[in-house]
Amino acid sequence: MNRPLARILALAVAAALAGCATTTPSSAVTDTQTMPAPAVLDNPFFADSPLALKYPTFDKIKDSDFGPAFDRGMAEQITEVEAIANNTEPASFQNTIVALEKSGQILGRATAVFFNLSGADTNEAREKLRADYAPKLSAHNDAIALNPKLFARVRDLYQKRADLGLDAEGQRLIERYYIDFVRAGANLSDADKARIKDINAELATLSAKFSRNVLAEVNASAIVVDSKAELAGMSEAQISAAAEAAKTRKLEGKYVIALLNTTGQPALAQLENRALRERLYKASIARGSRGNEFDNTSIVSQVLKLRAERANIMGYANHATYVLEDETARNTTAVNAMLNKLAPAAVANARREAVDMQAVIDAEQKAKGQPSFKLEPWDWAYYAEKVRQARYNFDESQLKPYFEMKNVLENGVFFAAGQLYGLKFKQRTDLPVYHPDVTVYDVFDADGKQLAIFIADMYARPSKRGGAWMNEYVSQSHLTGNLPVVANHLNIPKPPAGQPTLMTWDEVTTMFHEFGHALHGMFSNVEYPRFSGTNVPRDFVEYPSQVNEMWADWPEVLANYAKHYQTGAPMPKELLDKVLAASKFNQGFATTEYLGAAMLDQSYHQLSADKVPAAGDMIRFEQSALKANGTDFYVVPPRYRTAYFSHIMGGYSAGYYAYIWSEVLDADSVEWFKENGGLTRKNGDWFRAKLLSRGGSEDAIITFKQFRGREPQLEPLLKRRGLTTP
């Protein structure tokens, strides 16, 4: 995959913002003498993959290939960049911008695969490589971004861009290059550039260590249960999976409940054993702050101080101000205003939901002749299900038999894409995969031509980071002739052999969500890789994926996939009606836990360096920030606490607000689809042409307005979240 310099610079800025090596597949050593000897001619990264659409040769890639590919790729790109910077001919669009777009081929191929595998299927060798190369890659980014001769050529083109006779995309490319260079520090003094380089290298190292700690402690903190009786409330399949998990840890006869990297844990909604629920919850929230070898509080403190210092060097009051200038939000005032508007209504809803749950607790305890107890955080999910059952007469366990994983993907997600966009999918078994659980599909456009390759990696495993995400192995570009190879990753617990994979409703909507990102990548129709697919502002990137969630419960789509895995019988209409009626249920909790994390992110990143709390004060600061933000409702903790808040140690630093910012656009767009007839090719083609295909080649809000015909409105979001009624 070609990862051109403009995109590298954008990623360099994003990674610098984040201090996260995993999102910076672009930095390298500047010493050309580090190029490896030509003996490693069989390295699969030294040439384009011979497979379809340059799909990675996973069967030939060894961990030992990455280091030589990084070294040679970095050295080669530095040589290319030096040739551009020292070109004696006047700077032109072709000899400077386009030449930079084409640079870094080997490095791009190697980093695309490496950093994707580091998230999807890591191991000790990859973790060591990541730690070793994080500062080297950061130094490489800086060597390019802070090259004064190179910047002089870009600046010259920027100043006369209107007179170059370029089309709109070419002119925007020059503008983005210039902005990327400036935001990387190209205008700074030599002393400040030197300090920026040191900060970036240190942040890369710290971020890699933070990520290792999070993954290691998620695995180390799994709950070991001695008896099956303690797991009452869980299904037989879940109990079998817990027994299998224990066997893999050589704990025969016991059961293991694995943790996800969120505060809430799925088993909390089912476990009848209150003591076990408390144990599970407390293990979850203690991660990263126990004072053990996985403690992340010192790392977070250091990262926040370094980010604040760098922002100050760049001329900004704080890291958040620096980040938001290049997002659609533009400034902290806009973000704070939206979050502050939503928080009071969300918390008020959560408090009303808590009253309902306390009433259930009181009634149950009275019926047992036992004293009541106060609702605690580890009780919320369990009693929310009871309230849901009482109010809507169904629970999640009734839904799962209708949501078999492959059926949801092929007859739900793919079906909706076919109805909207005319896409067709065909599974491939001839392409190599990096893990046996991975499935690969060819994607064909409405005209029958191949559009992309789609990789589906749906199961959780110890080598995989938590959450769900999309990534690209190859990005679309007319300049390079590349078509997309994109992947979706979920963390669905894998059942024992021979058992069906039955999904929760949340997992179903997550699958639709991530495929919305995949569509954004697959429909890209741009000239330059810098603008391909999801290369849009962070607070815009979630928008198309959130829109795609609407098709999960669209009647025509649901009827096509919501079928009993044993009988094939469709989901009863009365059950579907209950699901739809319950769509606003527990939204006070969902919105409050999200806002707690989003506002905590802003609280940290709107600090100056001298105000950043020390490691021992991080948790106290978290508590005081939640109180100041009005989201400190004890029984609804933030979705992520500081020490395992991977989003803000990665690409979402000062940007976790992006989900709800994007949801404003999403909710408004859902209204447009409903107003215009819903699931039709006409609607899909319009959304694709005006927005999904444009990538970053136009200003994000302009693409929204071209699609919607007006500015976005907040009211559809408030209505969806149930925040409009007292």
Task: Point out the residues that are catalytic.
Answer: 514
Q: Is residue 142 within 8 Å of residue 200, measured between CB atoms?
A: yes
Tokens of 397: 């366990």
- DSSP run (H or E) holding 174: helix 168-184
Q: Which residues, 6+ apart, have CB-to-CB distance to 596 below 8 Å?
A: 626, 629, 631, 632, 636, 637, 638, 639
Half-sphere exposure of 682 (CA within 13 A, CB side): 7
Q: Residue 405 CB: number of other CB atoms within 10 A?
A: 22
Q: Which residues, 6+ apart, have CB-to-CB distance to 463 below 8 Å?
A: 120, 121, 122, 123
Tokens of 533: 């697919």
Rounded to whole angstroms, what are the CA distances from 173 to 161, 167, 530?
Answer: 10, 10, 8
How far is residue 476's CA from residue 222's CA, in Å, rounded to a whole number? 40
Q: Is residue 142 within 8 Å of residue 197, measured between CB atoms?
A: yes
How far is residue 110's CA from residue 260's CA, in Å, rounded to a whole number? 29
Q: Is residue 563 within 8 Å of residue 723, measured between CB atoms?
A: no
CA angle 513, 518, 519 (to 5 degrees): 95
Q: Give me the sign of the Cα torsion angle 601, 603, 604, 608.
A: positive
**3-class secondary-structure state, position 638:** coil
Q: Is residue 636 within 8 Å of residue 336, measured between CB atoms?
A: no
Q: Where are the beta strands (DSSP E) in 194-316?
A: 223-225, 255-257
Alpha-helical (H) ranges within 436-536 are 505-522
| Torsion angle defined by CA atoms of residues 20, 26, 30 and 33, in that order, rounded to the nearest 10 degrees | 120
How far is residue 299's CA from residue 269's CA, in Å, rounded to a whole number? 32
Q: Which amino acid is at 15?
A: A
How far is residue 564's CA from residue 54's CA, in Å, rounded to a whole number? 38
DSSP 642: G
Query: Which of these, 139, 109, 129, lies nearest to 16 by C-alpha position?
Result: 139
Tokens of 683: 């609607």
How far is residue 535's CA from residue 169's CA, in Å, rounded to a whole number? 14
How far is residue 38's CA from residue 72's CA, in Å, rounded to a whole number? 10
